[in-house]
Amino acid sequence: MEQGVLQLTLSWDRRQIVAAGVVSTRPAAARALRGLPVARVLEVVPRVFSICRCAQEAAARLACYAARGQRPAPALSAVLARAVACEAIGEHLWRLLLDCPQLCAQPVRQSEFLSWRKGLLAVVDEATAAAFGARLAAWLDDEKLPLADARTTHAAVPLLPCLTAAEWRAHLVAAAVVGLPTFAGQVAETGALARHAEDRAVAALLNGGQRLQARLAARYADLRWLAQGLVEPARLATWLDAAELAEGGGLARVETARGTLLHAIELAGERVARYVIVAPTEWNFHPQGAFVHEIRGRAARTRAEAEQAARRVALSLDPCVPCEVLVKELEDA
């Protein structure tokens, strides 16, 4: 299945970005799951999603268990949690070592990333996970936070609360409007920043209006938490859970590097009557969401500066698909 793109259109007056629009061509993958037997869903989901595959598979499995009124065996839960954690670590390291340096005028750290990737592939049980977690924690102690960007000029959108699957039940209808999720009637930002906004370093940056820098700091905070989770695997249980909905329904919540992922399923016998997926990108790139809100008003003296600013903000919000940036110059500028 084609992954689609995010089309980011900027209105620019030669001084600043006046407005922005977001159009997503991401396919509605959940529709393809309707009518399938449950067993087939669990085969299809890991194949359909090339990004956050482990998280998507875990969410599908947990939602199906909940819809049947069941819980996975503790051993399976531990395996799913470890896989999700390792995947999130890999995603964070990809952004921090390969993508962010290009936008912060720093050298790409490809050899380091490849070394970490090799280490992640070697994590196969609790012992190897603990060893990897200890190594990652030691590395983080020596890491320095790169410089991201200037202060945010507009008030930011609210951060999405960190809720359990049971707590999400009351908000599922609004969140399940595919592509346009809201929480308590408002757009919201999900991701590492939402999880670590209370971290002292992150909070200081937020209070200073340094939203992009705060997101970078939150990534490092997330990595520290995940590293500790590999050493103490019981901690990772808080990253994913599920809850029953009505009879024959289940809801799963899985945290990812990009934010909260929700899967909701309704069964008719052993077939899927309804399937809903709410991905982090749908929150952060809502047409009135964090990206649009934050890019508006950014100074840009040239078209290239406008595009660069958009790519910086978009990257900080961690889209799961490529972004296409189009800068439209206002005619009366």
Mean pLDDT of 323-332: 88
84-113 confidence digits (pLDDT tens): 999 999 999 999 999 988 877 788 999 999
Contact 8, 312 (CB under 8 A): no
The pLDDT score that the predictor gives to residue 191 is: 97
Cα 253 → chain centroid:
12
For residue range 212-238, what is the model confidence (pLDDT) as tens digits? 999 999 999 999 999 999 999 999 999
Tokens of 41: 């869903």
pLDDT at 323: 93
Reported as a pLDDT band with limits 50, 70 and 90, residue 155 is low
Q: Hey, what domains does the chain have and what are their CATH numbers?
A: 6-329 (1.10.645.10)
Q: Which residues contact 175 (CB under 8 A, 6 or more apart)?
A: 168, 181, 182, 183, 262, 278
**Average pLDDT in the chain:** 92
pLDDT for 151 beyond 70? no
User: Which residues pair with residue 278 across a beta bridge?
Assistant: 262
| Model pTM score | 0.94
What is the distance between the alpha carbons of residues 24 and 282, in angstroms, rounded to a whole number? Answer: 9
Q: Are 19 and 298 in contact (CB under 8 A)?
A: no
Judge whether residue 304 has pLDDT over 80. Answer: yes
Report percent pLDDT > 70 for the chain: 96
Distance between CA atoms of residues 189 and 308, nearest Å: 21
> Which pLDDT belongs to residue 333?
47
| pLDDT at residue number 175 | 76
Mean local confidence (pLDDT), 190-200:
97
The pLDDT tens digits for 14-38 are: 999 999 999 988 877 888 889 999 9
